[in-house]
């Protein structure tokens, strides 16, 4: 079983994490691409989607860039993914390959629906700040490496 993000969602999450970690809160598109290893040609579309969703503020101009439009502790992974992908609920039945529920529910519907619900709830509870905090907590301290 695979649970993969699309490239667009992957890049959007990386960009949002870069903005969360930005010391002054404002990063250029080029800096985001460099820091997060995102192909620069994809970033304008992704940042446009995040801006339209109200997650990012764009500041045009030579010294402009992007910054979070909301505090990092209020932006969830689910909101970032929804800004890029839309509704995260599975539309195709895992057994029939057609729209789920059109001709009744398949035998595994309840199990997959519950699993999907658990995943969506986990994404809804993970904020950008909680991800950064957990990451930093796992990093060795300067004293430990000295």
pLDDT category of residue 30 using cuts at 50, 70 and 90: very high
Is 74 a domain residue?
yes
Is 145 a domain residue?
no
> The whole model's pTM is what?
0.84
Strands (E), 13-120: 56-59, 65-68
Give the pLDDT score at 112. Answer: 80
Is 55 a domain residue?
yes
Q: Residue 65 above 90 pLDDT?
A: yes
pLDDT tens profile 88-97: 766 666 666 6
Q: Residue 143 above 70 pLDDT?
A: no
Give the pLDDT score at 146. Answer: 47
86 lies in which domain range? 7-138
Is 2 a domain residue?
no
82-87 long-range contacts (CB < 8 A, ≥24 apart) are 82/53, 83/12, 83/49, 83/50, 83/52, 83/53, 83/55, 84/6, 84/8, 84/9, 84/12, 84/46, 84/49, 84/50, 85/6, 85/8, 85/9
Q: Provide the domain count of the chain.
A: 1
pLDDT averaged over every residue in the chain: 87
Is 19 a domain residue?
yes
Give the pLDDT score at 23. Answer: 84
Is 29 a domain residue?
yes
Is 143 a domain residue?
no
Is 118 a domain residue?
yes
- What is the pLDDT averaged over residues 61-72? 93
Which CATH number covers residue 130?
1.10.10.10
């Amino acid at each position: 079983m695979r649970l993969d993000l699309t490239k667009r969602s992957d890049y959007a999450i990386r960009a949002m994490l870069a903005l969360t970690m930005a010391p002054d809160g404002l990063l250029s598109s080029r800096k985001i691409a460099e820091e997060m290893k995102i192909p620069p040609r994809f970033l304008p579309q992704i940042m446009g989607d995040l801006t339209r969703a109200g997650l990012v503020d764009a500041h045009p101009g030579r010294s402009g860039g992007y910054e979070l439009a909301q505090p990092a502790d209020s932006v969830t992974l689910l909101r970032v993914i929804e800004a890029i992908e839309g509704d995260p609920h599975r539309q195709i039945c895992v057994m029939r390959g057609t729209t789920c529920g059109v001709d009744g529910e398949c035998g595994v519907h309840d199990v997959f629906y519950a699993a999907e619900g658990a995943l969506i709830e986990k994404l809804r509870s993970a904020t950008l700040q909680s991800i950064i905090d957990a990451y930093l907590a796992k990093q060795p301290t300067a004293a430990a490496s000295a």
